[in-house]
Structure 1
Amino acid sequence: MAFFKRELGPVESFESALKRKRAARQKMAERLNLTEKLLEEQRAAARRLAVAGATHGQLDRAEAKMRSVEDRARGQRAELDELDEQIASTERALAEAVLQRDRNRLADDILALAAAIEQAVPQFNSSAVALVQASQKGVVLPPEATRFSTSVDEMRREVLSSADLICWELRSIAVRTRAGNANVALGASAEPHQRPSPETERQLIYTLSPLLWREGDEVRRVPAFTLVGLPRDLLPVALRHQHADYLSARRVQTLIQVHGSGSVQEGQGQDDPETIDLDALAAEETGGAPANVA
């Protein structure tokens, strides 16, 4: 019956090699210790012979024995130094292998998350389609049912587009993580691109220009090429003037690959002269007075 030995991974291989080298160093250190003790004995014997006035032949033999032991000790010290260098090199390789193993595990977890989202998307789509179809049944459709059906269908398209985007981003992060050039914070709660106020209805869009608008006394600013939840009453203005577009738009998918999805930071784009005031733009369209820029 044939027995197959399991192939060791990089971490296990380096751990095994490090264990062997440390054991070899321990043995070499013990041998060197015995050799140095013998050298001290040879030196003491030669000293006694010289003090006692021994013959030339006796002194020659004592010096030869002493030189032989010195050569052996010198060779063993060189071997010990080489083992120390090998151990240090193996420890560095082991640390890198452990780091790569952890990066691989994290990348695998990120890919599993992307796969789980993709597997859940068809079920969500089917449920949303069924809800839309259910709200459209009937000979006479009240306006509320029509609005509800339209809202659910818009949400369905937005979620499908967002799912495609997040899966693409997760796979990109996994590749960078595995290569060691990504900074992924573990256990940290992800901050949304923008905290939506509960009373404001928003639409997730991608900006093509730096934008600003007002929500009460607060002036909100976002740079270009950023995912942001824009108030729905300003969305038609931004779309008509080509300052934003839906996530499902083909050009948005390309821009995300070029610029990334961006992140909204406080004060970002504060001094950008190209910033578009959406409130003022909406006021101009309706013939009203332009809004004051805070």
Structure 2
Amino acid sequence: MAFFKRELGPIERFEVALKDKLAARQKLAERLSVAESELAEKRAAAERLAVAGADNSRLDRAEASMRAVEDRAKTLRAELVEFDDQVASAERALADAKAQRDRDAIADQIEAMAAAIERAAPGFEAGAAALVEAVTKSSLSIPEATRFSTSVDAVRSEVRAAADLICWELRSAAVRTRAGNANLASPVPSLSEQPSSAETERQLMYTLHPLRWYEDGKVRKVPAFTLVGLPKALLPVALQHQHVDHLNARRVQTLMHLHGSAGNGEPQDDDPQLVDLDALLAEETQSAQADVA
């Protein structure tokens, strides 16, 4: 009957290598200890002979014996230093392997999250479609129901695009995590963490330029190439001047792949590309009033 040994994993191999290095170092250290003890004895013997006035031949033999042991001890010390370097290298390799194992575990969880979202998305799509059909297939035409159906259909499109985006971002994060390039300890604030007003109606949009506007008495600033819940009052002018676009827009999908959706920090007030949406809206309003007049 044949017996097969289980193949060791990376961490186990590094642990075995480190254990072997430590064992070899211990043996070398013991040999060095013996050599140093012998050297001390040889020195003491040579000193006694010299003090006692021994003849030159005996002193020569004592010194030669002492130098031989001294050379052996010196060689062992050098080997021990080399072993210390090898042990340190093995410890680093083991630490790196454990870190990679931890990164792989986190990346697996991230990929599992993306897969779970992909599995759940069709259910949401089907539920939203059923709500829309409940209104559109009816022979009655009720304004409130029509508005509801339109809103649900718009949300369905946004969720579909957002699901595609987050799955792509999660898988990108998993790749970076495996490579050790992710910084999960300080994630970018999510949309839910962005300041918002309960009374303000918003729509999730993707910014094409850095934007600024006033909200609840405070200045809001967001960078280009980021997701933002934009107040609907500012949405028409922002869309008209192509400062934002919908998540399902083709160019947005391309820009998300190029730049992601977290932006690059809050824009500075002196940024020449910073767009003041309030000022832009005021200009549009004045222009419209002038046309009417």
TM interval, shorter chain, is: 0.7 to 0.9
| Shift in CA distance, 43/129, structure 1 to aligned 2, threshold 3 Å | same
DSSP-derived class of the 2:205 partner: strand
Deviates more, 1:157-166 or 1:56-65: 56-65
TM-score normalised by structure 1 residue count: 0.85
Contact preservation (8 Å) 1:207, 1:225? yes
Contact preservation (8 Å) 2:129, 2:153? yes
DSSP-derived class of the 1:279 partner: helix
Per the alignment, residue 175 of structure 2 pairs with 175
DSSP-derived class of the 1:287 partner: helix
Deviates more, 1:132-141 or 1:243-252: 132-141
Give the C-alpha shift of residue 47 in structure 1.
Answer: 3.1
Could you list the runs of 5+ residues in structure 2 that have no partner in the other structure? none
Give the C-alpha shift of residue 37 in structure 1.
Answer: 1.4
Per the alignment, residue 135 of structure 2 pairs with 135
CA distance in 2, matches of 1:243, 1:26: 68
CA distance in 2, matches of 1:269, 1:156: 35
Give the C-alpha shift of residue 104 in structure 1.
Answer: 2.2
Deviates more, 1:114-123 or 1:210-219: 210-219
Contact preservation (8 Å) 1:234, 1:282? no
DSSP-derived class of the 1:182 partner: coil
Per the alignment, residue 292 of structure 1 pairs with none
Per the alignment, residue 77 of structure 2 pairs with 77
Q: Deviations over 1:87-128 (max 9, x none)?
A: 122222223223222222222222121111111111111111
Contact preservation (8 Å) 2:21, 2:87? yes
Per the alignment, residue 44 of structure 1 pairs with 44
Q: What is the root-mean-square deviation in Å for CA atoms of aligned residues?
A: 2.7
CA distance in 2, matches of 1:17, 1:46: 43
- Tell me the amino acid that sits aligned with residue 24 of structure 1: A
Per the alignment, residue 280 of structure 1 pairs with 282
Give the C-alpha shift of residue 56 in structure 1.
Answer: 4.8
Per the alignment, residue 22 of structure 1 pairs with 22
DSSP-derived class of the 2:95 partner: helix
| Shift in CA distance, 264/131, structure 1 to aligned 2, threshold 3 Å | farther
For 1:132-281, what aligned pairs fall within 5 Å after superposition? 132-185=132-185, 190-192=189-191, 194-263=194-263, 268-274=267-273, 275-277=275-277, 278-281=280-283
Deviates more, 1:207-216 or 1:221-230: 207-216
**Structure 2 residue 115 is the aligned partner of structure 1 residue 115:** yes
CA distance in 2, matches of 1:78, 1:265: 53
| Shift in CA distance, 52/273, structure 1 to aligned 2, threshold 3 Å | closer
Q: How much identity, in percent, do the aligned residues show?
A: 62
Per the alignment, residue 3 of structure 1 pairs with 3
CA distance in 2, matches of 1:52, 1:218: 96
Deviates more, 1:142-151 or 1:4-13: 4-13
Give the C-alpha shift of residue 265 in structure 1.
Answer: 5.8
| Shift in CA distance, 72/127, structure 1 to aligned 2, threshold 3 Å | same
Give the C-alpha shift of residue 230 in structure 1.
Answer: 1.3
CA distance in 1, matches of 2:168, 2:242: 25
Contact preservation (8 Å) 1:237, 1:281? no
CA distance in 1, matches of 2:49, 2:215: 102
Give the C-alpha shift of residue 40 in structure 1.
Answer: 1.9
| Shift in CA distance, 46/128, structure 1 to aligned 2, threshold 3 Å | same
Give the C-alpha shift of residue 184 in structure 1.
Answer: 1.8
TM-score normalised by structure 2 residue count: 0.86
Give the C-alpha shift of residue 66 in structure 1.
Answer: 2.5
Contact preservation (8 Å) 1:203, 1:231? yes
CA distance in 2, matches of 1:26, 1:285: 87
Give the C-alpha shift of residue 179 in structure 1.
Answer: 1.8
- Tell me the amino acid that sits aligned with residue 279 of structure 1: L
| Shift in CA distance, 265/44, structure 1 to aligned 2, threshold 3 Å | closer
DSSP-derived class of the 2:209 partner: coil
| Shift in CA distance, 242/51, structure 1 to aligned 2, threshold 3 Å | closer
How many residues matched? 287
Contact preservation (8 Å) 1:223, 1:269? no
